[in-house]
């Protein structure tokens, strides 16, 4: 049974890059990326709280942890919620020190964000558009859309779900 083969160590992000959506074999250790660092865990079934603890984000209840899905979307993992690290598509996590998350919509897709501010560049990254040729706008009620520059921050704390959309501005004449 190939399932029982135990390798010493698997780096989850590298595995996905190499093998795509294929479940990695059982291993003694798993390297999982949280924010910008890799952490070694032994049990591939782990809670959000344990991941935060591994990354020394304590007290864990003052942090939020999100799984980064391959399409750039973020999914919040509750502290007591378990994640199967060997499930294909689990690549990395990011954390925020925050007491709540913020919700917004880009191009009709809903996102959760752990910080109260977000930049235009990040919005375009999340939307998965070409960063150089696309723009991003915030829809305003009863007014013109507000263009958001790459390095401009938008405050997500205003009441209501912010709605953004990306698009190209250029047309060709003739």
Partner 1 sequence: MSFLPSNDRQYLENRGLPFEEVVDASQKGVILREFQLPLGRFDTEQADILILLPSGYPDAPPDMFYLLPWVKLVQGAKYPKAADQPHQFNGQKWQRWSRHNNEWRPGTDGIWTMLKRIENALEVTA
Of residues 80 and 173, the one with the C-beta less far from partner 1: 173
Tokens (6 digits) for 38: 């890799």
Q: Is 168 in the site for partner 1 (CB under 8 A)?
A: yes
Tokens (6 digits) for 46: 């782990």
Write out the H or E segment, with its range, that includes residue 65: strand 63-68
| Residue in 9, 43, 139, 155 binding partner 1, rule: CB under 8 A | 139
Nearest to 84 by CA among 121, 40, 124, 43: 43
| Residue in 22, 45, 140, 149 binding partner 1, rule: CB under 8 A | 140
Q: Is 144 in the site for partner 1 (CB under 8 A)?
A: yes
Q: Is 89 in the site for partner 1 (CB under 8 A)?
A: no
Q: Is 173 in the site for partner 1 (CB under 8 A)?
A: yes
Q: How far apart are the first and last CA of the chain?
A: 65
How deeply is 29 buried, as exposed, middle or buried, from its count of CB atoms within 10 A (0-12, 13-18, 19+)?
middle
Of residues 2 and 172, the one with the C-beta less far from partner 1: 172
Q: Which residues are near partner 1 by CB under 8 A?
A: 107-108, 135, 137, 139-145, 165-174
């Amino acid at each position: 049974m190939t399932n029982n083969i135990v390798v010493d160590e698997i780096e989850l992000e590298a595995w996905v890059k190499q093998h795509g959506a294929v479940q990695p074999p059982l291993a003694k250790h798993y390297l999982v990326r949280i924010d910008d660092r890799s952490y070694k865990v032994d049990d591939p079934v782990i809670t959000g709280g344990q991941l935060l603890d591994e990354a020394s984000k304590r007290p864990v209840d003052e942090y939020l942890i999100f799984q980064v899905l391959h399409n750039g979307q973020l999914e919040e993992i509750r502290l007591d919620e378990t994640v199967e690290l060997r499930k294909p598509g689990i690549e990395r996590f990011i954390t925020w020190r925050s007491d709540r998350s913020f919700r917004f919509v880009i191009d009709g897709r809903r996102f959760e964000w752990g910080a109260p501010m977000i930049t235009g560049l990040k919005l375009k990254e999340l939307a998965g558009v070409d960063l150089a040729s696309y723009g991003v706008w915030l829809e305003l009620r009863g007014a013109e859309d507000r263009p958001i520059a790459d390095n401009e921050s938008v405050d997500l704390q205003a009441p209501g779900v912010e709605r953004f959309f990306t698009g190209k501005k250029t047309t060709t004449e003739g």
